[in-house]
Amino acid sequence: MYIFIDISICMYICICYYVFILLYAIMYLYFYMLLCIYIFICYYVCFSVFLVCILYLYVFRVDLVCVCLCV
């Protein structure tokens, strides 16, 4: 009976540990996905600003300082 309780406690700890690792992995992947989306949006905005700057510079002959904040 004592051995059974000991094994069940060990199994409970193992299950908790694996669930924690699984949740951590899911959270990490979710964070990584959000980070990728953020970087993609940042670079898309940056590229759009760069294109607008080029457009203004060469088409309208307006001197603009183009600053890309998403690096």
Q: Is 51 exposed, middle or buried (0-12, 13-18, 19+ CB in 10 A)?
A: exposed
* pLDDT tens-place string over residues 9-34: 555 656 666 777 777 777 777 777 77
* pLDDT for residue 32: 73
Q: Is the pTM of this model over 0.75?
A: no
* pLDDT for residue 27: 76
- Under a CB-based contact definition with an 8 Å cutoff, are residues 49 and 68 in contact? yes
Q: What span, in angstroms and rounded, lies between the C-alpha atoms of 29 and 25?
A: 6
